[in-house]
Structure 1
Amino acid sequence: MEKKKTLPVIQSLQTGIGILELFVSEDRPLKFSEIQELTGITKSNLHKYLNTLTITGLLHRDKDQGTYHLGSKLIEFGNAAIGSVDLIQKATPYLKKISRELQLTALLSVWTHDGPVIANIWNSQPGLNIGAQIGTRLPVLSSAGKAYLAFKDEAAVKEWKQKGLEYMPFESKRQLEEELPNIKQHYFSYAAEPLVKQISSFSVPVLDYKYDMIGCITIVGFTQLIPTSHENGMSTFVIEQAFELSECFGWQKES
């Protein structure tokens, strides 16, 4: 058996990235002593790492509290990585309007090489656990996942789809395939409790001038509040908002 080659790496860079990953896993501001305890890095070296990460904007230091947290530069990197800065900016007023009108949570997801990822959330119900946050990857059977399967190019979703369907029962796969043409026809997909019990969602696509799906607006709330059909007044309102947003990117509905 051929041995895998060990690639050369910059150890200090790996350590710096490890510090950033620590903040992601802990999901809270950290004091110097906590970082030192969790990483095991010597105090003198840790000072250098934290100073470098702070100067570059990857970390921010709250002088009053004496804590560090992830910096705004990472948001820039994240938006650039998903290639959807303009979409996120343009979609935000629509998310606010939809959430305010429906009194439900509205979120925007965008496509990445690993599948759809939540890029923005507007929540009119603080404290509601929707089972996701910005950066969460959405599964195939979420309402957004179904929408991407219906509208994205088959080659683009192939690997993500295969992974998502790998352990799915045959009957569930069949039902999903039957659902997709209807989603494409009506610009509407529904999922019952895909991530959290009693929390369901519906999604509508955001399209561009090439009729490519560049994003997805999803409405999330308690199952009894979420419509299951495109004919519902709430659904119609969100679809109209998504159409208007799509027109900003040159899309026109086919007659």
Structure 2
Amino acid sequence: MTKKTKSLVPSIDKAVDIIILLSQKPNRTLKQIYEELGYPASTCFNIITTLEQRGIVEKNKLTSQFKLGTTLMRLGMQLYEDIDIRKVALPIMKTLVAKFGETSYLTIVDYSTYEGVVIDKIESLKTVTVIRSIGSRVPLYASATGKSLLSGLTNDEIEDYFSKVNFVKYTEKTITSKDQLMEELNDIREMGYAITENDMGDGASAVSAPIKDYQGKVVAAVSLSGPSNRMEEQIPLIIPEVKLAAEKISSLL
């Protein structure tokens, strides 16, 4: 058992599990919550009562079902507004979208799960698009922004990532081999961009480039994404523009 594990507060750990469960499966009864998590009913009751009093969860009095409360929404919006990189990146993302007519995403790593999280986007105005909402999570190994983010991890972080990730082969193009992925990451570091072409089976292709802070650490990734049939011919033109966008954002940071 590590020092960090010994320092965990069990009740807080369980409270976080309840919050995450309700974020994924809202409108659950107390019985459904403790059965799904495998926690004692009394423990869940005490934790949920506390969370309810603080506005973190809310109870529907008619159905006795719980969902996340407005306190979390307020805290989430505060965090959302405090991410300075969004203010820097949005004007540059708008230029990308205006030039190519596809959707641009800004993504960061959630190190607790090693997933990419979309923190902002500028949508295409075209009728046929492949849209991910703000807050959406993407696997790092199967998305263009994810690979750009992975390329910035240290060797220790990458080893930690491989020890935790469960590779899913969405299509024949999805890389699920550690050696193959490491080879691609080395190419991305050298070229400065990543490409995916329907790697997740969603009919989308994307070009992404890593964004770096003043110390040269990758802190986010910017991408341009759209339906594969539209993106195919544009990719050679998009690559230098996405790289330039990432460089501009990095410079402003």
- TM-score bracket, normalised by the shorter chain, equals 0.5 to 0.7
Query: What is the percentage of aligned positions where both structures have the same residue?
Result: 16
Q: 5+ residue gaps in structure 2?
A: 35-40, 60-65
Identify if the C-alpha distance between structure 1 residues 229 and 180 changes in structure 2 by more than 3 Å, giving closer, same or farther.
Answer: farther
**Worse overlay, 236-245 or 115-124:** 115-124
* Code of the aligned partner of 1:202: V
- For 1:133-189, what per-residue CA distance to the aligned partner results, in whole angstroms no more than 9, with x for missing partners? 515142323222322333332222221134448788999555434433432232111
* Code of the aligned partner of 2:218: M
Identify if the C-alpha distance between structure 1 residues 99 and 162 changes in structure 2 by more than 3 Å, giving closer, same or farther.
Answer: farther
Identify if the C-alpha distance between structure 1 residues 152 and 228 changes in structure 2 by more than 3 Å, giving closer, same or farther.
Answer: farther
Aligned to 2:62: none
C-alpha displacement at 1:115, in angstroms? Answer: 2.3
User: Which of 241, 249, 252 is 1:237 aligned to?
Assistant: 241
C-alpha displacement at 1:204, in angstroms? Answer: 0.5
Aligned to 2:119: 120
Contact 1:108 1:121 in 2 (8 A): yes
Distance 1:53 1:127 in 2: 42
SS at match of 1:206: strand
C-alpha displacement at 1:20, in angstroms? Answer: 3.7
Contact 2:116 2:140 in 1 (8 A): no
Distance 2:86 2:54 in 1: 26
**Worse overlay, 159-168 or 239-248:** 159-168
Identify if the C-alpha distance between structure 1 residues 132 and 174 changes in structure 2 by more than 3 Å, giving closer, same or farther.
Answer: farther
Aligned to 2:101: 103
Pairwise CA RMSD of aligned residues? Answer: 4.5
Distance 2:233 2:163 in 1: 26
C-alpha displacement at 1:244, in angstroms? Answer: 0.8
Distance 2:184 2:164 in 1: 19
Aligned to 1:141: 142
User: Which of 78, 84, 87 is 2:85 aligned to?
Assistant: 87
Q: Give the alignment's TM-score, normalised by structure 2.
A: 0.65
Task: Within 5 Å, give how 1:3-22 maps onto structure 2.
Answer: 17=16, 20-21=19-20
Aligned to 2:251: 247
Q: Give the alignment's TM-score, normalised by structure 1.
A: 0.64
Distance 1:110 1:129 in 2: 19
Contact 2:192 2:209 in 1 (8 A): yes
Distance 2:200 2:149 in 1: 17
Distance 1:205 1:38 in 2: 42
Distance 1:207 1:8 in 2: 32
SS at match of 2:84: helix
Identify if the C-alpha distance between structure 1 residues 90 and 145 changes in structure 2 by more than 3 Å, giving closer, same or farther.
Answer: same
Distance 1:53 1:170 in 2: 44
